C-alpha cells in the first residue's frame, strides 16, 4: 500500500509527481559536491502557482517536510533532498510573464534561467544585472533564494538590489505578494529583502518582479595581468579599488587554480564530455583550441606560482578606467595586457567561469565562500596557504577580488561506502578557514548561502542572540517547521563533528 501522503499527492497532482529512482537520486545533489544520503518521498514538478499551493497545503496538513528546488545548481546543499521530504521542483515554471521596458522591470516565474532572461532582454538594450558564474544554468528563483552574488557585485550590487517584489507560497499554501513595481517603496517591513537569501526556509518563491538596467554603453575593456604570486596579485587588486576605481569585474585566480583551469581547457572538456555538460560556463568554446584561447593574454607563458588578475571596465569611461587600472597593475609588478576587443574579453571571462567545472572534473569539490574586507585579501590568502600546508591539502582559490569574496576549493575523491561524505580533515581545514575570515572582519558565506554545508558555523557567526531571533522569524513564517528543515539551522541535537568546536 502506498504511503497515504504520496497517494494524496498523486491524486491531486497526477503526472507532476514522480517517484522514479533516477529522479529521486538526482534530487539528492546539487553542484556543491554534496550527495545527500536521504531518500525523498517524491518529486513534484510544479508548473503553476496552483501546483505549489496544492503541494504545500498537503505537506502542511500532514507535517511533511518540503525542499524547494530550482535548477539544482546550488553550491551549499540548499536544495537537496532530505529524508522523507517532498522535493518541490519549480524549474518547470519558466515563463517570462512581462517585460516592462518603460519601467525597466520584468516579471518572471521562479524557474526562468538567468541567462535566458538576459537573452530576451538584450535586443531591448536592457539587462538583469545579477551575474553568478552559473548564470547560464541557474534560475532566477534560485538566485533570489540565495541572494546570489557573482562577478559584478562591487559595481552593480547583489541580487537583492535587483528584486522589487516577490510572489511566495507560504508553508500553509497561501500566496503572499511582497514589494512593488517602483524603485522606491517603504510601506511596512521589507519582506522582499528578508525573503531574498532565505534559502527556501520561509516560503517558496514562485514569481519575481525584478529590476532591469540599461546595458552599459559601448564595449567593455579588459585588463589581464599575471603576478609572480598570489599575494602580489591581491595587493595589486586592493590598490585598484583604493584608487577609487570601480571596474565591473575584478577577479583573481591563484596558481593552483590556474593550473587546473589550463589543464581542463587543454583536455577539451568544455566540448561536452565533462560532468557539467559544457554548460556551466555558458560558452561555446572550442575546447581543442586552448592555445588560441590564451593567445595574446598573459596566460600563454605562465611561470610556476604565478597568479592571475582579470579586470573589466565598462560604460562610457571604460577606456580611461582600463588605462588607469593597467597602469596600477603594471606598477604593482604585473605582466599586463589590455584588450578593447569584446571577444577577447569574453574569452578571458570564460576562463574564469570554467574554474568550477575544471575542479569538479577531478573529483568531489567543497567550495568555501568566505568574504573579507577587500583590503584584507592578502592576509586571507596567506591564511589559506598556512591552512593548506598544515592539513597537507592543495586549496585552489579564486576570488571576486573587488568584493573580497574568496572561493577556496577542496577537491577530494568520492567517499568509500561508510566513509563521511566530506573527509574530516577537510572539515577541519574549512573550519580554520572560516575562523580566519571572521577574524579578519569577514563572513562565512559571501554568496552561496548556508545550505546544509555551512549550517554548522551559522550560530558561531551570528552569535546566540541573533541566531535565536532568526529562528523565531523562521517560526513566524513556518510554525510547523516543514520548509527546508535541514537548511540553515542545525537540528537541535548536536550533529557536527568533534573537530568543529564552538569556541566563542
**389 to 428, contacts with a copy of itself by CB under 8 A?**
400, 402-405
- Residue 239: helix, strand or coil by DSSP? helix
Identify which range of 16-24, 239-247, 298-306, 352-360 contacts a copy of itself by CB under 8 A. Answer: 239-247
**Residue 315: Cβ-neighbour burial (10 angstroms; 0-12, 13-18, 19+):** middle
Interaction with a copy of itself in 68-107: which residues (CB under 8 A)?
100-105
Of 147 and 337, CB closest to a copy of itself = 147
Q: Which residue in 151, 259, 372, 411 binds a copy of itself (CB under 8 A)?
A: 372
Of 9 and 168, CB closest to a copy of itself = 168
Q: Which residue in 153, 248, 365, 395 binds a copy of itself (CB under 8 A)?
A: 153
Alpha-carbon gap, residue 173 to 153, rounded angstroms: 34
Of 102 and 416, CB closest to a copy of itself = 102
Beta bridge mates, 225:
309, 336
CB 238 within 8 A of CB 378: yes
Alpha-carbon gap, residue 149 to 405, rounded angstroms: 9
> Is residue 375 close enough to count as binding a copy of itself by CB under 8 A?
yes
Of 310 and 372, CB closest to a copy of itself = 372
Interaction with a copy of itself in 447-486: which residues (CB under 8 A)?
447-450, 454, 458, 461-463, 465-467, 469-470, 472-474, 476-477
**Residue 2: Cβ-neighbour burial (10 angstroms; 0-12, 13-18, 19+):** exposed
> Is residue 497 close enough to count as binding a copy of itself by CB under 8 A?
no
Alpha-carbon gap, residue 309 to 301, rounded angstroms: 15
CB 439 within 8 A of CB 425: no
Total site size for a copy of itself, rule CB under 8 A: 91
Q: How far is the CB of 41 from a copy of itself (least distance, A)?
A: 27
> Is residue 196 close enough to count as binding a copy of itself by CB under 8 A?
yes
Q: How far is CA 58 from CA 11, 13, 48, 474, in A?
A: 11, 11, 16, 20
What contacts 10, CB < 8 A, 6 or more positions away?
2, 17
Q: Which residue in 139, 312, 344, 445 binds a copy of itself (CB under 8 A)?
A: 445
Alpha-carbon gap, residue 135 to 154, rounded angstroms: 17
Alpha-carbon gap, residue 168 to 188, rounded angstroms: 17
Alpha-carbon gap, residue 398 to 355, rounded angstroms: 8
> Is residue 181 close enough to count as binding a copy of itself by CB under 8 A?
yes
CB 163 within 8 A of CB 196: yes
> Is residue 161 close enough to count as binding a copy of itself by CB under 8 A?
yes
Of 78 and 282, CB closest to a copy of itself = 78
Q: Which residue in 92, 228, 268, 315 binds a copy of itself (CB under 8 A)?
A: 315
Of 92 and 157, CB closest to a copy of itself = 157
Identify which range of 14-22, 66-74, 84-92, 314-322 contacts a copy of itself by CB under 8 A. Answer: 314-322
Alpha-carbon gap, residue 504 to 494, rounded angstroms: 16
- Phi, psi angles (nearest 5°) of residue 499: -70, -20
Of 219 and 263, CB closest to a copy of itself = 219
CB 163 within 8 A of CB 192: yes
> Is residue 244 close enough to count as binding a copy of itself by CB under 8 A?
yes
What contacts 464, CB < 8 A, 6 or more positions away?
none
Alpha-carbon gap, residue 61 to 10, rounded angstroms: 15
Q: Which residue in 446, 453, 482, 487 binds a copy of itself (CB under 8 A)?
A: 446
Cell of 241: 579599488
Q: Which residue in 259, 393, 444, 486 binds a copy of itself (CB under 8 A)?
A: 444
Of 190 and 229, CB closest to a copy of itself = 190
What is the contact mask toward a copy of itself in residues 18 to 57, using x (rule: CB under 8 A)?
----------------------------------------
Interaction with a copy of itself in 219-238: which residues (CB under 8 A)?
238
Q: How far is the CB of 100 from a copy of itself (least distance, A)?
A: 7
Amino acid at each position: 500500500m502506498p504511503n497515504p501522503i504520496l497517494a494524496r499527492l498523486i491524486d491531486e497532482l497526477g503526472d507532476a509527481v514522480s517517484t522514479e529512482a533516477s529522479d529521486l537520486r538526482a534530487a539528492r545533489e546539487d553542484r556543491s559536491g554534496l550527495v545527500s544520503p536521504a531518500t525523498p518521498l517524491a518529486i513534484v514538478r510544479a508548473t503553476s502557482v496552483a501546483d505549489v499551493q496544492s503541494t504545500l497545503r498537503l505537506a502542511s496538513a500532514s507535517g511533511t517536510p518540503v525542499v524547494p528546488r530550482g535548477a539544482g545548481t546550488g553550491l551549499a546543499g540548499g536544495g537537496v533532498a532530505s529524508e522523507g521530504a517532498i522535493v518541490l521542483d519549480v524549474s518547470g515554471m519558466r515563463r517570462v510573464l512581462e517585460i516592462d521596458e518603460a519601467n525597466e522591470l520584468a516579471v518572471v516565474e521562479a524557474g526562468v534561467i538567468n541567462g535566458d532572461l538576459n537573452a530576451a532582454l538584450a535586443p531591448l538594450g536592457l539587462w538583469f544585472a545579477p551575474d553568478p558564474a552559473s548564470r547560464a544554468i541557474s534560475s532566477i528563483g534560485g538566485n533570489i533564494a540565495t541572494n546570489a552574488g557573482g562577478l559584478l557585485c562591487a559595481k552593480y550590487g547583489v541580487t537583492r538590489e535587483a528584486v522589487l517584489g516577490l510572489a511566495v507560497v507560504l508553508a500553509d499554501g497561501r500566496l503572499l505578494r511582497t514589494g512593488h513595481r517602483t524603485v522606491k517603496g517603504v510601506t511596512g517591513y521589507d519582506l522582499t529583502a528578508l525573503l531574498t537569501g532565505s534559502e527556501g526556509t520561509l516560503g517558496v518563491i514562485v514569481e519575481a518582479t525584478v529590476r532591469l538596467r540599461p546595458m552599459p554603453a559601448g564595449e567593455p575593456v579588459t585588463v589581464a595581468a599575471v603576478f609572480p604570486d598570489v599575494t602580489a596579485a591581491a595587493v595589486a587588486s586592493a590598490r585598484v579599488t583604493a584608487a577609487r576605481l570601480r571596474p565591473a569585474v575584478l577577479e583573481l585566480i591563484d596558481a593552483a587554480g590556474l593550473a587546473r583551469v589550463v589543464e581542463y581547457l587543454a583536455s577539451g572538456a568544455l566540448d561536452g564530455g565533462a560532468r557539467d555538460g559544457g554548460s556551466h560556463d555558458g560558452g561555446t568554446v572550442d575546447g581543442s583550441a586552448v592555445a588560441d584561447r590564451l593567445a595574446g593574454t598573459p596566460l600563454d607563458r605562465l611561470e610556476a606560482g604565478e597568479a592571475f588578475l582579470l579586470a573589466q571596465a565598462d560604460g562610457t569611461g571604460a577606456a580611461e578606467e582600463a588605462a588607469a587600472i593597467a597602469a596600477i597593475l603594471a606598477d604593482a609588478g604585473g605582466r599586463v595586457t589590455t584588450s578593447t576587443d569584446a571577444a577577447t574579453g569574453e574569452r578571458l571571462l570564460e576562463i574564469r567561469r570554467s574554474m568550477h567545472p575544471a575542479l569538479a572534473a577531478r573529483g568531489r569539490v567543497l567550495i568555501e565562500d568566505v568574504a573579507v574586507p577587500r583590503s584584507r585579501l592578502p592576509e586571507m590568502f596567506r591564511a589559506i596557504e598556512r591552512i593548506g600546508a598544515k592539513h597537507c591539502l592543495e586549496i585552489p582559490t579564486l576570488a571576486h577580488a573587488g568584493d573580497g569574496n574568496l572561493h577556496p576549493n577542496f577537491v577530494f575523491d568520492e567517499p568509500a561506502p561508510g566513509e563521511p561524505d566530506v573527509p574530516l580533515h577537510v572539515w577541519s581545514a574549512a573550519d580554520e578557514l572560516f575562523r580566519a575570515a571572521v577574524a579578519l572582519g569577514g563572513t562565512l558565506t559571501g554568496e552561496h548561502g548556508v545550505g546544509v554545508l555551512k549550517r554548522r558555523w551559522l550560530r558561531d557567526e551570528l552569535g546566540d542572540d541573533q541566531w535565536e531571533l532568526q529562528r523565531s522569524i523562521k517560526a513566524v513564517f513556518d510554525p510547523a517547521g516543514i520548509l527546508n528543515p535541514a537548511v540553515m539551522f542545525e537540528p537541535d541535537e548536536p550533529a557536527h563533528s568533534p573537530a568543529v568546536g564552538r569556541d566563542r
